[in-house]
């Protein structure tokens, strides 16, 4: 059974001026997402600046999201690491905190072999009863999970339930769908490929766009799942200029700027990420106004 179908938001983590997590703003973000129709919260993923969160605050953010959400939509905890033992620990703790699922990014920097990736994910999944979403994002990790490896994992490990596929290759998504039909859910990991991925059997997106446009992102997926690809395609194409601006600098720099423009007071990214440049703030604001989310 799918963890969710629809739009899962890759939620930004609000920060105060002193760099601490701003829990008041985090609660407002969560409530706005639920009100906006988002189908799942992904907390402490890449967009949530997990690499610069220490373990206690990382786990506290997950606990807080579970508490605020109160079971209204699933909370999926980002617990991936390039250290398998660390990912196991974070996954076990997140299960205790009440998370509904896990998002596990490909080990970065190590550049594991395909057999290493298989062993890594099998080890983490065996430590928890929670359903696991494998996150394939070669542009950030330096390693691509091949469709054959993902199919092997999904077939052999009961609680490896899905993949967030952000390779950018529609051919790879098609191969993955052909190898995993019926035993692995596919979520688009790229906001400019929501409709193409759903057309190949995907059931949703884990989205940066949803931070600032939750209703539109949800509706786009729903039109796909209902078979209304004409309307979904119109929405996909209309969103492209804003999606481009949300990645004009490395994520989550632009989306935090966008949320600040919307009044959510999410603060600045933590170093080594920096504020969006003034020129890019201007183009981002224009795209948000044109899309109707500002």
Question: Is 291 noted as a catalytic residue in this protein?
Answer: no
Q: Is residue 231 part of a domain?
A: no
Instruction: List beta partners, residue 77.
Output: 43, 102
Structure pTM? 0.96
Q: How many domains is the chain built from?
A: 1
- In contact, 282 and 276? CB cutoff 8 Å: no
Q: Is residue 236 part of a domain?
A: no
Q: Is residue 269 part of a domain?
A: no
Summarize pLDDT for 103-150 with one digit per residue, the tens.
999 999 999 999 999 999 999 999 999 999 999 999 999 999 999 999
- In contact, 186 and 196? CB cutoff 8 Å: no
Q: Taking the alpha carbons of 211, 213, 217, 219 in that order, is the dihedral positive or negative? A: positive
CATH number at residue 36: 3.20.20.70
| Residue 12 belongs to domain spanning | 6-226
User: Of 92, 18, 15, 75, nearest to 41 (Cα)?
Assistant: 75
Tell me the three state secondary structure of residue 72: coil
- Catalytic residue among 135, 187, 223, 291, which? 135
Q: Is residue 261 part of a domain?
A: no
- Catalytic residue among 164, 187, 223, 256, which? 164
Q: What is the C-alpha separation between 2 and 151, in angstroms, rounded? A: 16
Q: Is residue 214 part of a domain?
A: yes
Q: Is residue 260 part of a domain?
A: no
Summarize pLDDT for 139-174 with one digit per residue, the tens.
999 999 999 999 999 999 999 999 999 999 999 999
- In contact, 238 and 291? CB cutoff 8 Å: yes
Summarize pLDDT for 249-288 with one digit per residue, the tens.
999 999 999 999 999 999 999 999 999 999 999 999 999 9
Q: What is the C-alpha separation between 216 and 265, in angstroms, rounded? A: 22
Q: Is residue 282 part of a domain?
A: no
Question: Is 16 noted as a catalytic residue in this protein?
Answer: no
Q: What is the C-alpha separation between 284 and 253, in angstroms, rounded? A: 11
């Amino acid at each position: 059974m799918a963890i969710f179908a629809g739009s899962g938001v890759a939620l930004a983590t609000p920060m105060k001026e002193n760099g601490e997590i701003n829990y008041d703003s985090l609660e407002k973000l969560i409530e706005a997402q639920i009100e906006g129709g988002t189908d799942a919260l992904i907390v402490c993923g890449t967009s949530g600046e997990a690499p610069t969160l220490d373990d206690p605050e990382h786990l506290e953010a997950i606990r807080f999201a579970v508490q605020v959400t109160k079971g209204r939509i699933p909370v999926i905890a980002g617990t991936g690491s390039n250290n398998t033992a660390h990912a196991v620990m974070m996954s076990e703790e997140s299960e205790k905190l009440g998370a509904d699922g896990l998002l596990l990014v490909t080990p970065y920097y190590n550049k594991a072999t395909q057999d290493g990736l298989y062993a890594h994910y099998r080890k983490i999944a065996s430590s928890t009863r929670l359903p696991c979403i494998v996150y394939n994002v070669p542009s950030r990790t330096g390693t691509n999970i091949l469709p054959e490896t993902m199919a092997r994992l999904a077939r052999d490990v009961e609680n490896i339930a899905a993949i967030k596929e952000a390779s950018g290759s529609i051919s790879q998504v098609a191969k993955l769908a052909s190898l995993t039909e019926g035993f692995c859910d596919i979520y688009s990991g790229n906001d400019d490929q929501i409709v193409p991925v759903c057309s190949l059997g995907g059931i949703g997106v884990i989205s940066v766009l949803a931070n600032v446009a939750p209703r539109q992102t949800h509706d786009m997926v729903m039109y796909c799942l209902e078979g209304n690809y004409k309307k979904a395609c119109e929405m996909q194409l209309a969103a492209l200029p804003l999606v481009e601006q949300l990645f004009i600098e490395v994520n989550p720099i632009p989306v935090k700027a966008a949320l600040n423009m919307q009044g959510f007071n999410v603060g600045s990214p933590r170093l080594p990420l920096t504020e969006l440049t003034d020129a890019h703030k201007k183009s981002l604001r224009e795209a948000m106004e044109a899309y109707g989310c500002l």
